[in-house]
């Protein structure tokens, strides 16, 4: 609907009056102690991590349920109840949640909704407000919404939700490392397998086994499980030839969520390309670089203790990671995890490390990293409405091309209304050039 100037003025003055008259009512469904029994719906994120989240929540005393994998229904419902100017991932997660509530599988009276909050400069800090507004418009304004975060929580009252950080920290870290490793094994074998579907079977089996281990809170057992997974993957018959590689970088949700990225990874694999995606670990490890950079630039002031703890924590994580790496080194799929400080050094040649919104300097670092590994075809996926990633991705295209002239870069804008044929045409050019 298009409003003329007079109508716009009337709407604005009505809104001001509503606030003055205290007519505006915010979201009133809070998550208090009495709500701990509620089933908490969470949106689907990615195949190699999402199944672990309800298990970790169960250890914490909460009943989390994943929404089904993201689909066209999520996009349609998200658009219907969300603001169509938010970024595409925000639309999809809202759609996931409302679709599941509407499915009739749950009693809305016993439900809550969980959403992550990054606390950074992109919209992921404010998904909570959008989800509340969407739920209200769909008629579910009585469902409490909680922020699921190991860090700070902004703009939300959720006194009944507290994660026992020390209890779940070890298993969460190992779960992350395990999921990343299993994903690497899967991505290598799925294009090479002689028996179609075998890599997927192994992947599904180990995700289930890992979930059971997480439920028992046995972090070390995940190392043993990874050894078995490496053996199983090493035993499958594969075509022994060189495969062309395509690097995939970009916004975290569309990179790892199959529907969110319009299934381009699967499409590339049907064309015989091996798709290489940076690990999820590096996304979280970047915080060590960011903190150091922010202190250096005077953006952050950290206490003496935090300043000392940061390198100590980094070393602990690296030590833990090296245990997983040692097991992975026995696999033919193994590619060592690159040190985050080295990736940052490469990114620094392209842009300032103060660029920390969206994927920040990681996109430049990942492209540079691919170039040094001889991967010269890279797709960068950007969601519709993501200003952050347009700046730190498309905005550095010229410089990337200058520094890496043989690099073939394809920037793909992804949203619910794009034509698949157009997307595939552009990918076809990338892989045949
Ligand atoms: S990085 Fe972009 S797409 Fe992702 S949550 Fe932030 S604004 Fe949205």
Same domain, 172 and 249: no
Same domain, 144 and 185: no
25 — pLDDT class (breaks 50, 70, 90): confident
Residue to probe by mutation, ligand 1, list 90, 116, 382, 415, most atoms within 8 Å of CB: 90
At 39, is the secondary structure helix, strand, or coil? Answer: strand
Same domain, 92 and 119: yes
Q: Which whole number is the average pLDDT over 119-139?
A: 90
pLDDT of residue 155: 81
Same domain, 220 and 321: no
At 253, is the secondary structure helix, strand, or coil? Answer: helix
Residue nearest to atom 2 of ligand 1 (CA): 386
141: in domain:
yes
What strand order describes the sheet that includes 408-414? Answer: 274-276, 245-250, 377-383, 408-414
What whole-number distance in Å separates Cα of residue 197 and Cα of residue 82? 37
Residue nearest to atom 8 of ligand 1 (CA): 87
Torsion angles phi and psi, residue 395, rounded to 5: -65, -15
Residue to probe by mutation, ligand 1, list 116, 251, 357, most atoms within 8 Å of CB: 251
What whole-number distance in Å separates Cα of residue 250 and Cα of residue 245? 17
What whole-number distance in Å separates Cα of residue 120 and Cα of residue 68? 27
- Spatial contact of 85 and 385, defined as CB atoms under 8 Å apart: yes
pLDDT in tens, 185-213: 999 999 999 999 999 999 999 999 999 99
Beta 145-147 vs 111-115: how paired, if at all? parallel
Q: Which of 97, 119, 114, 124 is nearest to 161 (CA)?
A: 114
Residue 338 DSSP one-character state: P
347: in domain:
yes
Q: CATH number of the domain at 291, please.
A: 3.40.50
137: in domain:
yes
Instruction: Mean pLDDT check: name the lowest of 16-30, 77-91, 121-135, 174-188.
Output: 16-30
405 — pLDDT class (breaks 50, 70, 90): very high
Same domain, 122 and 254: no
Share of the chain above pLDDT 70, in %: 94
20 — pLDDT class (breaks 50, 70, 90): low
pLDDT of residue 123: 83
Q: Find how far residue 39's CA is from the centre of its chain.
A: 22
Q: Which whole number is the average pLDDT over 280-308?
A: 90
Instruction: Work out how many domains the chain is built from and give that number.
Output: 3
What's the mean pLDDT when you consider all of the chain? 92
To the nearest 10°, the Cα dihedral for 228, 230, 235, 236?
A: 120
Among 219, 239, 259, where does a domain finish? 239
229: in domain:
yes
- Spatial contact of 77 and 90, defined as CB atoms under 8 Å apart: no
Sign of CA dihedral 11, 15, 17, 18: positive
To the nearest 10°, the Cα dihedral for 400, 247, 425, 250?
A: -70
Same domain, 226 and 248: no
Torsion angles phi and psi, residue 272, rounded to 5: 80, 15
- Spatial contact of 197 and 245, defined as CB atoms under 8 Å apart: no
Ligand 1 centroid, distance to 385 Cα (angstroms): 8
Q: Which whole number is the average pLDDT over 340-352?
A: 96
Give the nearest ligand 1 atom to 358 CA: 1
Give the Cβ contact number of residue 234 at 10 Å.
14
**pLDDT higher at 121 or 130:** 130
pLDDT of residue 8: 52
Residue nearest to atom 1 of ligand 1 (CA): 358
Residue 143 pLDDT > 90? yes
Same domain, 218 and 273: no
Cβ neighbours of residue 195 under 8 Å, at least 6 residues apart?
Answer: 236, 237
Share of the chain above pLDDT 90, in %: 81
pLDDT of residue 126: 86
pLDDT of residue 282: 93
21 — pLDDT class (breaks 50, 70, 90): low
390 — pLDDT class (breaks 50, 70, 90): confident
Q: Which of 185, 174, 255 is nearest to 211 (CA)?
A: 174
24: in domain:
no
Same domain, 61 and 133: yes
pLDDT of residue 267: 97
Residue nearest to atom 3 of ligand 1 (CA): 386
Residue 426 DSSP one-character state: H
Q: Which whole number is the average pLDDT over 411-417?
A: 90
Among 114, 149, 184, where does a domain finish? 149
Same domain, 269 and 223: no
Same domain, 348 and 257: yes
Same domain, 235 and 246: no
Instruction: Provide the H-helix boundaries in 329-380.
Output: 340-348, 362-372
Q: Which whole number is the average pLDDT over 377-393?
A: 92
Among 239, 266, 291, where does a domain finish? 239
* Helix (H) / strand (E) containing 255: helix 252-256
Residue to probe by mutation, ligand 1, list 85, 116, 123, most atoms within 8 Å of CB: 123
8: in domain:
no
Cβ neighbours of residue 129 under 8 Å, at least 6 residues apart?
Answer: 155
What whole-number distance in Å separates Cα of residue 189 and Cα of residue 230? 11
- Spatial contact of 100 and 135, defined as CB atoms under 8 Å apart: no
Pocket of ligand 1 (CB under 6 A): 87, 89-90, 122-124, 251, 253, 358, 383, 386, 388-389
pLDDT in tens, 219-230: 999 999 999 999
Residue 283 pLDDT > 60? yes
Same domain, 235 and 176: yes
What whole-number distance in Å separates Cα of residue 194 and Cα of residue 121? 45
122 — pLDDT class (breaks 50, 70, 90): confident
Domain holding 78, by residue range, is 31-149
Residue 262 pLDDT > 80? yes
158: in domain:
no
Instruction: Mean pLDDT check: name the lowest of 120-124, 253-257, 422-426.
Output: 120-124
Cβ neighbours of residue 242 under 8 Å, at least 6 residues apart?
Answer: none
154: in domain:
no
pLDDT in tens, 70-89: 999 999 999 999 988 899 99
Q: Which of 29, 32, 28 is nearest to 160 (CA)?
A: 32
pLDDT of residue 287: 92
């Amino acid at each position: 609907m298009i409003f003329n100037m007079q109508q716009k003025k009337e709407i604005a003055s009505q809104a001001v009056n509503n606030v003055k008259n205290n007519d505006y009512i915010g979201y009133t469904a809070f998550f208090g102690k009495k709500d701990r029994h509620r089933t908490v719906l969470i949106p689907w994120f990615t195949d190699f991590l999402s199944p672990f989240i309800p298990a970790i929540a169960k250890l914490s005393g909460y009943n989390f349920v994943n929404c089904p994998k993201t689909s066209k229904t999520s996009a349609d419902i998200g658009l219907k109840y969300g603001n169509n100017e938010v970024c595409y991932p925000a639309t999809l997660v809202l759609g996931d949640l409302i679709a599941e509530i509407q499915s009739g599988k749950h009693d809305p009276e016993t439900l809550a909704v969980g959403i992550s909050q990054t606390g950074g400069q992109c919209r992921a800090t404010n998904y909570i407000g959008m989800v509340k507004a969407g739920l209200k418009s769909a008629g579910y304004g009585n469902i409490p919404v909680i922020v699921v975060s190991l860090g700070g929580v902004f703009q939300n009252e959720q006194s009944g939700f507290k994660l026992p950080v020390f209890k779940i920290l070890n298993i969460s870290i190992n779960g992350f490392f395990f999921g990343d490793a299993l994903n690497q094994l899967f991505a290598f074998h799925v294009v090479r397998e002689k028996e179609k579907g075998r890599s997927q079977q192994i992947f599904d089996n180990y995700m289930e086994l890992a979930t059971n281990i997480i439920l028992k809170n046995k972090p070390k057992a995940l190392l043993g499980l990874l050894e078995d997974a490496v053996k199983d993957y090493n035993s499958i018959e594969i075509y022994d030839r060189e495969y062309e590689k395509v690097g995939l970088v970009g916004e975290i949700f569309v990179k790892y969520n199959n529907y969110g990225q319009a299934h381009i990874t699967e499409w590339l694999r049907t064309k015989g390309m091996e798709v290489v995606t940076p690990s999820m670990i590096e996304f979280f490890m970047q915080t060590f670089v960011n903190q150091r950079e922010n202190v250096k630039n005077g953006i952050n002031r950290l206490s003496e203790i935090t300043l000392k703890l940061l390198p100590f924590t980094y070393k602990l994580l690296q030590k833990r990671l090296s245990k997983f790496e040692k097991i992975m080194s026995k696999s033919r799929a193994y590619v060592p995890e690159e040190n985050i400080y080295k990736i940052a050094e490469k990114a620094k040649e392209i842009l300032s490390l103060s660029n920390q919104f969206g994927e920040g300097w990681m996109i430049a670092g990942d492209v540079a990293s691919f170039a040094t590994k001889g991967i010269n075809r890279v797709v960068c996926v950007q969601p519709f409405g993501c200003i952050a990633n347009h700046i730190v991705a498309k905005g550095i295209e010229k410089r990337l091309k200058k520094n890496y002239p043989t690099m073939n870069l394809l920037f793909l804008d992804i949203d619910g209304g794009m034509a698949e044929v157009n997307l595939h045409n552009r990918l076809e050019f990338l892989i045949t050039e």
